[in-house]
Amino acid sequence: MTTQARWLKLLSPERLGAQDADALAGHSPDRSRFQQDYDRIVFTSAFRRLKDKTQVFPLAQSDYVRTRLTHSLEASCVGRSLGLMVGRAIVERHGLAPDVHPSDFGSVVAAACLAHDIGNPPFGHAGEDAMRAWFATHPHYLAGLDPDQRADLLNYEGNAQGFRILTHLQNPSNPGGLQLTCAVLATFAKYPRRSHLEQPLPGKSARKFGYFAAEANLFAEVAETVGLIPRETGAWFRHPLTFLVEAADDTCYLVVDIEDGVQQGCVTPAHAEELLLDLAGGIAVAGKLKYLTDPKRRIEYLRARAIGRLVDEAARVFLENEAAILDGSFDQALFDVSPVGESLAVVRRVAEEQIYNARQVMEVMAAGYEVISGLLDGYVAGACGPQSSRNGVWRNLLPADFDQMAGDSNYLRLLQVADMIAGMTDSYAVSAYRRLKGIELPT
């Protein structure tokens, strides 16, 4: 297959689960199917709930710091710029016009970035850890599950939950859920493999898993449609544009976490300026800084300059390594082979030491562990536990269609409980825990 044909397949506008007539409908030169995907994601309830989900500072009282919603919007903006820059070069390099426009690259990456955290449970990565730890300490509920099903729960992953939301939970009566294009769904999948592997696979894209066993057929259909390269059963190399999604995410969370850290008193303004100035490329490219006296404005300016440099670097590295990215031999973060990598490593170290491990973050995270564990205690007992008065009460709190959707499958019953809890916002999870544990009686 020629490189031109490969890119045309990777950018397939075919919609997952849509009938042939539906798949061809709704396309216009003014609003591509990839742009439609972006809009479909924006209007989902799962996306709206990101407004009250942790980015770094859970349940923050300040309206300045980022939530998962604002982070996702910022990442989508950076991703669109990255996609356009790369798309312009790729379209010209391989003669993809008029079938593909550079804006198609930008729209695919922007939509995937917009959804990249849509599967995160309450309290961010601490929420994922809490769910994994709970299943590990309650192995009797996993009896009878096959290796993939067990690994789905023991290694519970927000990325897989995101794929499940997009392809099943949102519009569950539709084959393929939201019926997004296969190009966007494949680009969304940072870790295109199943949860259980006999032997670990090398490379960045295999560090985690990207779909649950319940959606294995859907993921395989997406991979086949866009031509992902198989690695082994249930595992593929990444869609090339996924590297741009990862770069946009890294750019936003590392740079803006420093900005939020200043606002929350975890990093001094002077230290933040030093870090961001280095990322931006030094004072020679940040000349306007000498005219700014307000610390907040200085940091915002340096943040913008740093993001601009990172976007340029990510696009440059991608285009220089296009052939290796296409054949799967390149499998690392773009910034790992960029001169900005060392500066980013310093920023990451400061963020881990002074922000992610700050007492105010750890205290709420500790509470998050208790909240999620407490909710799992009750809801799983109601869904899968033995008959008892207590379990009967919890069973009655499950959604009305719970049994209809899960049937007798213990795996699906456990996965649906995980769906319920992962879909909660931070505030709602705390409120539900307080009510259901009798700490705060319902009014």
In order of start, what are the domains of the chain with their CATH numbers?
Answer: 3-125+147-236 (1.10.3210.10), 242-357 (1.10.3410.10), 360-436 (no CATH)
Q: Return the sign of the alpha-carbon dihedral for residues 411, 205, 48, 369.
A: positive
**In which band, very low, low, confident or very high, does the pLDDT at 340 lie, cut at 50, 70 and 90?**
very high
**In which band, very low, low, confident or very high, does the pLDDT at 260 lie, cut at 50, 70 and 90?**
confident
- Please report the pLDDT score of residue 437 as a whole number: 83
Q: Return the sign of the alpha-carbon dihedral for residues 98, 102, 107, 112.
A: positive
**In which band, very low, low, confident or very high, does the pLDDT at 65 lie, cut at 50, 70 and 90?**
low
**Residue of 248, 254, 348, 342 whose CA lies nearest to 303:** 254
**Residue of 302, 250, 300, 304 whose CA lies nearest to 278:** 302
- Please report the pLDDT score of residue 304 as a whole number: 94
| Tokens describing residue 133 | 């730890």
As a whole number, mean pLDDT of residues 319-343 equals 96
**Residue of 227, 184, 218, 239 whose CA lies nearest to 17:** 218
- Please report the pLDDT score of residue 403 as a whole number: 84
What are the beta bridge partners of residue 28? 31
> Do 94 and 17 touch, CB atoms closer than 8 A?
no
- Please report the pLDDT score of residue 219 as a whole number: 98
Q: How many CB atoms lie within 10 A of CB 19?
A: 11
| Tokens describing residue 170 | 């949102």
> Do 45 and 31 touch, CB atoms closer than 8 A?
no
- Please report the pLDDT score of residue 42 as a whole number: 98
What's the maximum distance between 2 C-alpha atoms anywhere in the chain?
71
Percent of the chain's residues with pLDDT above 70:
95
Cβ contacts of 207 within 8 Å, gap of 6 or more:
191
What span, in angstroms and rounded, lies between the C-alpha atoms of 417 and 375?
Answer: 9
Asked if the peptide bond before residue 98 counts as cis, ω within 30 degrees of 0, the response is: yes
Residue 66 has pLDDT above 90, yes or no: no
Q: How many CB atoms lie within 10 A of CB 36?
A: 20
What span, in angstroms and rounded, lies between the C-alpha atoms of 28 and 34?
Answer: 11
As a whole number, mean pLDDT of residues 118-143 equals 94
> Do 102 and 87 touch, CB atoms closer than 8 A?
yes
DSSP 234-284: TEEPPPTTHHHHHHHHHHHHHHHHHHHHHHTTSS-HHHHHHHHHHHHT-GG
CA angle, corner 15, sides to 9 and 18, nearest 5? 135
**In which band, very low, low, confident or very high, does the pLDDT at 26 lie, cut at 50, 70 and 90?**
low
**In which band, very low, low, confident or very high, does the pLDDT at 361 lie, cut at 50, 70 and 90?**
confident
Q: pLDDT of 211-250, one tens digit each? A: 999 999 999 999 999 999 999 999 999 999 999 999 999 9
Give CB contacts under 8 A, 24+ apart, made by 294-301.
295/262, 295/269, 298/269, 298/273, 299/259, 299/262, 299/269, 299/272, 299/273, 300/259
Residue 274 vs residue 27, higher pLDDT: 274
> Do 115 and 162 touch, CB atoms closer than 8 A?
yes
**In which band, very low, low, confident or very high, does the pLDDT at 61 lie, cut at 50, 70 and 90?**
low
- Please report the pLDDT score of residue 55 as a whole number: 61
**Mean pLDDT over each residue of the chain, to the nearest integer:** 92
Q: pLDDT of 284-314, one tens digit each? A: 887 888 889 999 999 999 999 999 999 999 9
Residue 56 has pLDDT above 70, yes or no: no
What span, in angstroms and rounded, lies between the C-alpha atoms of 140 and 384?
Answer: 10
